[in-house]
Each structure stands twice: as C-alpha cells, then as structure tokens.
Amino acid sequence: MASSSKRFMKLAGMTASIAGKAAKNSLKHLSSDQDKRNEARSELMKDVGLQIADTLGEMKGAVMKVGQIASQYKDVFPPEIAASLEKLQKDAPAMPYEVIKKQVERELGEPIETSFAQFETTPFAAASIGQVHKAVLPSGQRVVVKVQYPDVDKNCDSDLKQVRMALKIAGVLNMDRKLQDQIFNEIRSSLHDELDYVKEAHNLAIFADFHRDDTGLIIPKVISSHSAKRVLTLTEELGEPLSVAATWDNEIKQKIAKRLFHFSAGQLFELYRMHCDPHPGNFAFRPDGSVIAYDFGGIRSYSDAEVQLFRRFILHALRADITAMEQDLVALGIRRKDDEIIPSEFYQRWLQISLKPLSIPPYHQGEFDYGTSNVHFEVMEQLKESLKYLNQFQPSATTMMVDRTVSGQYWNLVNLGVSVDFLEDVKTYIDF
C-alpha cells in the first residue's frame, strides 16, 4: 500500500488533469449545437472514465473499491463512466505473503504457526481491500481466512473525497449538493461496513438464520476464535464458479436462478436487509443446484416504510398504473417535483423492457431466455431516447443499493444462460 501522502498526490494529479480536460471541452464546444455538445460530453465521459479506472486500478484499498462500487451504480454515473470502471471488477494483484502474515498475527495476537496448522502462502482470491487464503486449524478443520490489507480503513474517507472531487469537476454528478451528500454518504457507509469484519461476522449469523430452511442455500460459518476486525476465518464451503455452472443442464440452472431470486427478494421484503454485492465471485454453485453465498460485508438495511414503498411501486408497475407509479417515483426521490409532463408512452416503454425478464404478461409469457437476452441493449437505446427528460430524474440514495443488486443479479442470470419463468416467484412477494 502506498503511503497516504503518495496516494493523495496521485489522486490530486488525476483530479487536476480531469479539470483541464473538462475546461477545454467546455470552451471548445461553447458555440456548438446541442447534438454536438452531447456527443462531445459523451467522448469526455469515456476519456474521464478510462483515466479514473487506470488511476484507481493502480491503487489497492478503498479507492479501488470506490471505483468498483461506482461501476455498479448505473443510475448515478453516466454509462460511459460506469463502463470504463467495470474493468476494476477483475481480481486485483495479490499482496506479498509477509504483509498478510504480519496482519494476521497483529489481529489474532499470536504467531500464525500457532493459530493455524497450515496456511497457504498464495491466496486463492485477491480483491481491492483484502485477500483470501485457505488454511487448516490445529483441530484439522479446513477453513478460509479473509485478511484485510493494512491501513485500508485509514485511507477510506480521503480516497472517497478525492474521487468525488474528480467526478464533480468532470461534470459527472448532475445533482444538487444535498443529493450528492446522500449518495456519497451511502457509499461511505457501505465502505465502512465492508471494512469491519466483526460486523460481517454478525451479518453472516443473521443471514444464515434467515435462510436456514433452504438447505440448498449455503452460508459459511464464522470461526470466532480466529476472527477479529481485520481477519475473518470461515468454514470452507466450496463450489464451482458461474462459468462452470453455465455448462450444466437448464433444469439445474433453473434451481440456481430461483435461489438467486429468492436470496435477494426474500431478504428485501421479509428480512428488511439485503446482501448488496451480487458480484459473480461472491457465489459458488454445485451440480445439485445449491448456491453458496460469500462476502456479507456490503449489507443495506431498510425501514418498513421504505420496503412498503418499494412494494407499492412494483405493484403499480405490474398493473401499469402510470399515474400512481409516477407518484411513487417522486416519493422515492427519483422523479423531480416539477410541472413538466412526461407522456405515459415513456413509462410504458420502460415497463416493456424491464418486466420481460420476470415473465410478466403481457410483456412476456412463459420462460425467458437470459442466455439470448437483449434487455441490456434495449435499456441503452432507451437511455438515449430519455435524454430529453434527463433533468426530470435524479439518482436516489434510497434505491441505489437495490438497483446495484437487481442489475448484478440480472447479469448473473445472463452469464448463467438460464431459461426460466419467474412469474410465480414474483407473486410470492407481490400480490397482483
């Protein structure tokens, strides 16, 4: 990990460079027509996105995690920025074993040879804020050990502040200061939660209890004697990656798909807490259709009022009640309060696109083939058509984590290549 001063200088340099590009773009197209300005802004966003991704990709810790989170918030950042940041979702280079060994010993208070009978020096997974090693306890039990990189938590707030400044200067954050504060407080809260392994251990216990009746949904158990704030030791629960599960029969893939659906929907509507990081690396799969869920650091809790508002909005969408749906969007903080009328056809088109994957009549009947889905392309095309209403909508701190989860699970199903009908599953939570 680079020192705090070096990290600051690298991020400040990125911010200054982006400021220059934004100013140059603004002056160059001052007298251009609207179409040319939109085209120039799109090119600027691509350039800025690539620069942010390259800078953040060189740096471990919270700042890289910020980039990963940003890439999943399609409604907060322009698509060009989100697309550029997606490359940060790939595994990060591993930290040297000696650094990890010292961190484990510092956290557990004894030599690593005393804590573990075996500890593999090479991690089997490395990410932005930590890496995971296989190990064996003195009792002979096989475990995995999640180790946080040193000083990640110390740089968290300053990293986030610099990234926010860079995005603001580039004109990426098309929202008022109050909403910016809400959005970045949400991201900051999510980051701090993921950096606290004691809290994650607590989350693991809560979610394991909630899913206890589904024997095909497996959540690792915490080994408390070998866990601390920056080290988390869990029972070894192994499965195949999504790429392997995609080769199995559709009947097995349907079991997986429905488990993923109820994993997220059940948590939101019944537990009022949700695992909000559906990255494919956070799941593993078995040939009987079982799903293993990992990484319970990124959890969002919701109030009863928020959950009932989500339920009401979905119900109105399923009934195509545009008037009620628009009122819900205002309540959710997505639709700005003003007098400009948006035609119902605009909303109808979004319903046609978004409700197809759930097999909701009349938009789609029977199994939906995620393997050949073009919904994401339709969304991009519709976003272009929606530019004229851009100022009527804004990101919402309330829906941000839900959007991230829904988008992530959609892509999991696309990559799984499953053909499945979710109609009855939707009716489990929404009576329509």
Residues marked active site are found at 277
**8 Å CB contact between 195 and 47:** no
For residues 186 and 401, is the Cβ–Cβ distance under 8 A?
Answer: yes
> What is the chain's Cα-based Rg?
23
Q: Are 332 and 398 contacting, i.e. CB atoms less than 8 angstroms apart?
A: yes
As a whole number of angstroms, the distance between CA 394 and CA 332 comes to 10
Name the token pair of 94: 């591993």
Q: Which residues, including other chains, have CB under 8 Å from residue 280's CB and lie 6 or more apart?
A: 241, 242, 411, 412, 415
Angle ∠(128,129,134) on CA atoms, nearest 5: 95
Nearest to 260 by CA among 239, 286, 288, 291: 291
In the numeric block, the tokens 């029977």 are attached to 366
Helical spans, DSSP H, in 29-176: 34-57, 62-72, 79-85, 97-108, 112-115, 152-169
Distance CA 247, CA 418 (A): 10
Tell me which residue of 330, 321, 344, 353 sits closest to 399, measured CA to CA: 330
Contacts of 363 (CB under 8 A, 6+ apart): 351, 352, 355, 356
In whole angstroms, what is the distance from residue 168 CA to residue 170 CA? 5
Compute the half-sphere exposure of residue 316: CA atoms within 13 Å on the CB side of its CA.
16
Report residue 83 as tokens. 């697309």
The answer to whether the CB of 231 falls within 8 A of the CB of 146 is yes
Helices 197-210 and 177-194: crossing angle in degrees, nearest 10, is 90
